[in-house]
Amino acid sequence: MDAITGTAAGVPFTALPPSGTGDDPAPLIVTWHMLDAPRTDAAFAAALPMAGVPSWRVHLGMPLCGPRMVGGRLDRHVELAREDILLAYFGPIIRQAVEEFPAALAELRRQLPVDDQPIGILGASLGGAVALQILTAPPTPIGAVALVNPAVRVGSGVELLAAGLGQPYGWTAESRSAAEGLDFVARAGELSGEPPLLLVSGEHDHPTLREDASSLVSELRGRYTRPEEVELTTVPGLAHPLADEPGLEPAPQAPATVAVDGVLTQWFVRRFATR
C-alpha cells in the first residue's frame, strides 16, 4: 500500500502502513522531523521509512514546515532565527508541536486502523526535543522512544545556529530560562515511564550535540531500573542532516541514512513484532 497523506486536527502527516497485518489494527509510531533536511513529513518518511516494522509509521509535519511554510518558502525561518533563535523560532515551534499533538493523535486514531497499545515516538534534531518534551507529560502511554541526532539541550542548537548565521546569540534572563526548560539532560528525572529508548548519533554530527546525547544516555541509565533499556548507537559517516538540501521533497536515501533506517527498523521490530 502506498503512503497516505492528509491532516489530523490541522497537522499535515504522511502515514506508511504496516505490511502483512491484513485489516487488523496495528501499533503506531509517530515521528517529528528535523528543521534541517529532510524538513517535511513527506521527505522524512522517504528518508526513514522503516518498512520492515509491523506498525503504522505516521510522520507529522512540524509547524512552519511543508504545507505550513509561509509562502511556500524558507525565508520566514531565517527571519525568525535572526529575530531571536530561541524565543521566536525554536521555542514556539517546539511548543506548538507539543500542544497540537494530543488532538492530532486522537484524529489519527479515528482515521487509521491502529491499536490501543502504547505508541512509539521518534524525533530527529529539533523533533527530538519535541519527542522528549512530550515524554515529560505524555497524553497517551509511550512504549518506545527513538531519537536521531536530537537536540537534547536546545541551548546547544541555539549556539550552533547563531554561529551559522554569523551573529552571536544575545542571551537574556528570559532566554536562559527558556533554555533551561528545554535541557532534557537536566530534566531527565521528569521523563515519564522508563520506556525503552534508543539514541542514534551520527559520527560526524556536531560535537556539542554528540556530547549532549552521551550525557542524556548516561543520565537516563543512572535512573532507569533496567539501564540496558537505554541504548546509544553511533552511525559511521553520518553528519547532522539525513538528506541533501533542500530536503523538502521525498528523495532517495543517502548511504548513511540507509544505515540509520536499518538501526531504527531493527530496534522497533524488537519492540513491536511480538505484540
Given a cut of 90, whether residue 22 has pLDDT beyond it is: no
DSSP state of 19: S
Whether the predicted pLDDT of 275 surpasses 70: no
Quote the DSSP letter at residue 64: T
Calpha distance 168→128 (Å, rounded): 24
pLDDT tens digits along 226-249: 999 999 999 999 999 999 999 999
C-alpha cell at 42: 513527506
Asked if residues 242 and 37 have their Cβ atoms less than 8 Å apart, the reply is yes
Would you say residue 257 has pLDDT above 70? yes
Mapping DSSP onto H, E and C, the string for 101-138 reads: HHHHHHHHHHHCCECCCCEEEEEECHHHHHHHHHHHCC
CA distance linking residue 125 with residue 81, whole number of Å? 16
Q: What is the pLDDT of residue 96?
A: 98
Find out whether 119 and 28 touch, Cβ atoms under 8 Å: yes
> Which class is 4-272 in CATH?
alpha beta
Q: What is the pLDDT of residues 104-151, one digit of tens each?
A: 999 999 999 999 999 999 999 999 999 999 999 999 999 999 999 999
Mean pLDDT, residues 34-49? 97
- pLDDT, position 274: 57
- Any idea where the domains of the chain sit in the sequence? 4-272
This prediction's pTM? 0.97
Tell me the per-residue pLDDT of 47-57, one tens digit each, with 9 for 90 and over. 999 999 999 99
Helix (H, G, I), strand (E, B) or coil at 61: coil
pLDDT of residue 2: 84
